[in-house]
Structures are given as C-alpha cells and as structure tokens.
Amino acid sequence: MSSTVNPKYFLTDLDGTLLNSSAGLSDYTIRVLNEALTAGHVIAFATARSLVSAKPQVAQVHWRHPVILFNGALIMDYANNQVIRGYFVDGKMADKALSIGRMFGITPFVYLMSDDGREEVQYENVHNDGERGYLQSRANDPRFRRVDAIAVAPAARIMALSYIASHEKLESLYETLRTQFGDEIHLHFTQDTYLREYYFLEISHLSANKRSALLTWASLVGCDPAKITVFGDNLNDLGLFAAAGQRVAVANAHPDLKALADRVVAGHDEDGVARYIASKTGFRGMEFRFS
C-alpha cells in the first residue's frame, strides 16, 4: 500500500449524505473512497446506525480507521468489530424515560450491548407505519427481539433509546423528557431520512454526540480537528460542524446545516461527497463513473 506525504482527513455522515436515496453507494463513490484510502488519506464515517446496520450498506469500501456509531455513543474498530470508546445511558435514567414514554402510549427500540460486545435491540409493540418500516428495513437483523415488556437492568449498557412516531407525539415527549432530565441526557429529535412523515427521538448519554466523538476520533487518527473535513445533511451533524475545520453540506441537507457550511456540494444522489473528496485527493477516474 502506498501512502501520501500529506494525508487529508475526511469524516462523513452516512444516510442522506454518503448513502444515496436507496441507502447504497454508487460504483463511482466506492472507487473514489477506495483509491483515496489506498493512497493513505484518512476517511471514516459518523452515523446514527450501529456497525451491524452500517456494514451491509458500505461493505465494498475498504475502511481501515475507527468509525463513529449511534451518533457518538460508540467509536469502534471497523475491521475487528471492537469497541474503542463507549458512552452508555444510566440504567435507572433509562427506566424513568421508559415510564414517561408509556404515559404517551409509545415505547422505544432499546439498543443494548452485552459484556462480551454483542448487541441486542429490544422492542415491544409496533405502534405505527414508521416503526413497521424501520423493522422491515432490518428484517434479517438478528439483534432485534420483540419482548412482552422491556426490562432495563441498572447495570445495562444502553447505547440509545429510539422512538419513532409523528412529529406531534414526539414533540410532546421531547418537551417532557427535557423538563424531567435537563442536561443529564442527550436528546436528538429529527425527521426520518426515508419515511419523511415520521420522526426519530433518540435518548443517549450526554457525551454521545458527534462533536465529542469527532474530537476523540481526531486523537485516535492523530490529527488536529481543524484539519478534518466533515460532510452532513441533518441536524445530528451539527456536532461535526461545530468541531471540524472544514464543513461541507450536501445539496439535500437541512437548511440550518447549509447555513453553517463552508461549502455546499452536489446531493447524495449525485455523489456529492465522493466528488468533493476526488477533487481534494487528485482522483482522476471520473471517466470510470458508473451508476
């Protein structure tokens, strides 16, 4: 493997940013990323997904650097499937949040990790088409387990509690949780990338955010955060934009993110991220673009 004298550092969101509207990668994007990685540039992703969920979508890329998962709750070694850093929700706090959610007639998907690193996702009833679509998109995912009642042990390692519902229902729950917990937990409330009539409300550890994760990632790969270029499309990418030196939004990004961007590039269905990386790393394979 060759290496560059002056490697460049890129950290990208996945859904709505690097992944296209079919949640996949074009041949052109795969080629650009692999050639840049082979040349010695440092490229990784920061996503709300787990590694189990992300890998099938990006497996054709030869990732070799730590990746950020669950919006910053985990930083993992991609190749070896090992946790480098983890921030988990306190079990007692999670139990209180579950009780509050039940008052609104809704229960979350609870993402847990066992002591030996195995992931499990517990859920109860399916309340709406948003949850149904989410489960269908993960139909072959062995982590998902329907239970009669979610049980959270005090010492459980919980990455996130994730609610899916209408904006109206989740907004009320969000305000109640914010009043109850203040700055003790991290709350992320955003529109679903694929099922646009539904929203996600995610509860995670206070330090489980992309800003903190980027700073840790920078130390792991040995660079100044000011040298990192980040790519995003949604409000959970605000943390990346807050900590990085160069902020790039795709054309389909949320207006608030675009307003903070140093540059807006082509959308996720036009290989915007890959085209930008190609322009900065000297990739000359535009004639090999496939779609």
CATH number at residue 61: 3.40.50.1000
**What domain range includes position 50?**
9-86+209-288
- Output Rg (C-alpha) for the chain, integer angstroms: 19
Buried residues in 83-103 as b, exposed as e (16+ CB within 10 A): eebbbbbbbebbbbbbebbee
Say yes or no: 142 and 193 in one domain: yes
Say yes or no: 95 and 200 in one domain: yes
The domain boundary, picked from 205, 238, 264, lies at: 205
Say yes or no: 245 and 191 in one domain: no
Closest CA to 233 of 274, 202, 191: 191
* 3-state class (DSSP) for residue 146: strand
pLDDT at 188: 87
Q: Is residue 1 part of a domain?
A: no
pLDDT at 4: 52
Which pTM value belongs to this model? 0.84
Q: Is residue 233 part of a domain?
A: yes
Buried residues in 12-34 as b, exposed as e (16+ CB within 10 A): bbbbbbbbbeebebbebbbbbbe
Walk along the chain (291 residues) and give the pLDDT tens digit of each residue. Answer: 445 568 999 999 999 999 999 999 999 999 999 999 999 999 999 999 989 889 999 999 999 999 999 999 999 999 888 899 999 998 889 999 999 999 999 999 999 988 777 889 999 989 899 999 889 888 888 899 999 999 888 778 899 999 999 999 999 999 999 999 988 998 988 887 777 789 999 999 999 999 999 999 999 999 999 999 999 999 999 999 999 999 999 999 999 999 999 999 999 999 999 999 999 998 865 444 433
Q: Is residue 2 part of a domain?
A: no
* DSSP label of 89: B
Say yes or no: 110 and 194 in one domain: yes
Say yes or no: 142 and 197 in one domain: yes
Q: Is residue 166 part of a domain?
A: yes
pLDDT at 285: 53
Q: Is residue 41 part of a domain?
A: yes
The domain boundary, picked from 175, 205, 235, lies at: 205
Say yes or no: 193 and 267 in one domain: no
Say yes or no: 77 and 98 in one domain: no
pLDDT at 284: 64
pLDDT at 138: 84
Residues 68, 50: Cα–Cα separation, whole Å: 9
pLDDT at 5: 61
Start-to-end CA distance of the chain, whole Å, equals 27
Say yes or no: 74 and 111 in one domain: no
Say yes or no: 186 and 102 in one domain: yes
